[in-house]
Chains A and B, each alone.
Chain A
Amino acid sequence: MNTQPLVRVEGLHKSFGPQEVLKGVSMEVHSGEVVCILGPSGSGKSTLLRCINFIEEPTAGLIFVGDEIIGHRRTPDAAVLQQVRESEIARQRQDIGMVFQKFNLFPHMTVLENITHAPRLVKHIAAGPAKATAMDLLEKVGLANRAGAYPRQLSGGQQQRVAIARALAMEPKLVLFDEPTSALDPELVGDVLEVMKDLATGGLTMIVVTHEIGFAREVADRVIFVDDGVIVEQGTPAEVLDTPSHERTKAFLSRVLS
């Protein structure tokens, strides 16, 4: 593991109006690591994830991903940061994939078009190579035979696997998963988790907000428990899930696992 973390979150605060959702979160994720974020609903875990790629703009705090400070640019004076325009943030986001709870596939495009759209438009990759990459990714998620289908013709589990392929097509350094299985029928969850396990094994850096304790235990290198806008505790799955040291973690786990 590198000593230099891939992702560093420092003193992250986020308020929606008078309501403070994140109250000072700091964390690091190293390249190749799989980190699962657990916590009760309303704890701020999804907001934390959405701040990392600036889908939500933090109220305070900094997000470092690779050499970039998201939403900012370094200046010659090390103590001064320049805020950047939306177009520059769009460029920074290319390295950060995201998979949503509700898939958010583009309904007016076929599965193939969904996957090739951003690589062609943003990275200016030619149609042929973009399609080849997309077909490889569809093969990987087990949906190569559905390339010509529209999202509505697919089950939720299939849509989510397409959404994962779409995120991977941009060759991101990091993929954020926002409760990727929460909107799925129980029998469809397994296929999606299987794909995510393969990605974890393949060395992809992943931050996963999830309620799937089993997945966290099996796949995560580290588990972070968030409650009421702060990180309550973190450690290996065994530490956090089997021998939690905080009352709030214990209470949450007993509710989820019962």
Chain B
Amino acid sequence: MTRDSAATVDNMTTDAAKPGYRVIPVRHWGRLAAGIVTVALLASIVVSFARAEIDWSVVGQYFTYHTILTGFMVTIVLTVVAMVIGILLGVLVAVMRLSSNPVVSGIAWLYVWIFRGTPVYLQLLLWFNIALIFPHVGIPGVFSGRTVDLVTPFVAAILGLGLNQGAYTSEVVRAGILSVDEGQGEAAKALGLPSGALMRTVILPQAMRVILPPIGNETIGMLKTTSLASAIGASEVLNESQHIYLVNNMIMELLLVSAIWYLIAVSILSIIQYYIERRFAKGGSSKALPLTPWQKIVWFFTTRRSLA
């Protein structure tokens, strides 16, 4: 009975679309099966978390604990400062790498070779222990000091993460610069633009469309890589969680607190990335830009309202 009525409904709609024929739509059995399996697996994970000895009230209690909040702020500051250093260095090194001066491009190559060629964890340890090589730092006559006082865990983390990021970013920027059509540089040269202005106003803005998506990815990666700085005692969010669970033994609860903070930050970064990429898509395609998710929501409700 129900089958019949369903078939009638089917007939009615398809008859209208293709007169004289009954059209059987494609059945996606694979999708259905995959969907059922996925939901079952998710449900079992949720159940095991719910049954496990996790005291969710502790998660809630420590979620806004003051050292966790300051730790999260340190994570954000580390991410932002390391990425700013990474991007500035990356653009500089990429331009140096493409220079016709062999000394300049050689230095850039060496920098990338060293900082991309060693693990970032090892680099963090090197910076943290740099006093073993340079016990004193300073500019003669201006200031001088002991390296141990100057290179705190935070400073070592900034140096390690920023310099490592610079090496990666330079390769991204270089690929972006090389992706711009040669004719663009020729046209700018023919107009008499000096090489600095040419790079800044003609090449880099066009390279941005290629550079930005991977930079967005790397920023998200950096947010999580800052957790390595806990190994040298920088007081970012994971390190603060560890400090707490070493005392109260609520290991899983505090790891979850950190995980939730990371997820929040990554979600916000993803939204920012989306809008920045949209902005730089200007002039890149003859197609109109697709609606943003927010515009889609607004569109949905306003058209519904106008229908009613």
Contacts and interface: CB of A to CB of B under 8 A. Distances in A.
Interface string A164-187: 001100100000100000000000
Contacts, number: 80
A106 B187 contact: yes
Contact of A106 (B189, B202, B284, B285): B202
Interface residues of A, number: 32
Nearest to B195: A86
Interface stretch (B139-147, B152-160, B178-186): B178-186
Please tell me the size bucket of the interface on B. Answer: 20 to 34
A229 B184 CA distance: 27
Contacts of A91: 192
B193 interface: yes
Contacts of A150: 282-283
A102 interface: yes
A43 interface: no
B38 interface: no
A90 B187 contact: no
A191 B28 CA distance: 55
A90 B194 contact: yes
A64 interface: no
Contacts of B187: 98, 100, 104-106, 163
Given A96-B190, A97-B190, A121-B201, A90 B195 contact: yes
A164 B189 CA distance: 15
A166 B184 CA distance: 13
B197 interface: yes
B201 A90 contact: no
B283 A121 contact: no
A104 B185 CA distance: 9
A122 interface: yes
Contacts of B188: 106, 118
Contacts of B202: 106
A108 B284 CA distance: 7
12 contacts: A87-B195, A93-B189, A98-B186, A100-B187, A104-B181, A104-B187, A106-B187, A107-B284, A118-B192, A121-B197, A150-B282, A152-B285
Interface of A: 53, 55, 86-87, 90-91, 93-94, 96-98, 100, 102, 104-109, 117-118, 121-122, 150-153, 163, 166-167, 170, 176
Interface of B: 181, 183-184, 186-195, 197, 201-202, 205-206, 282-286
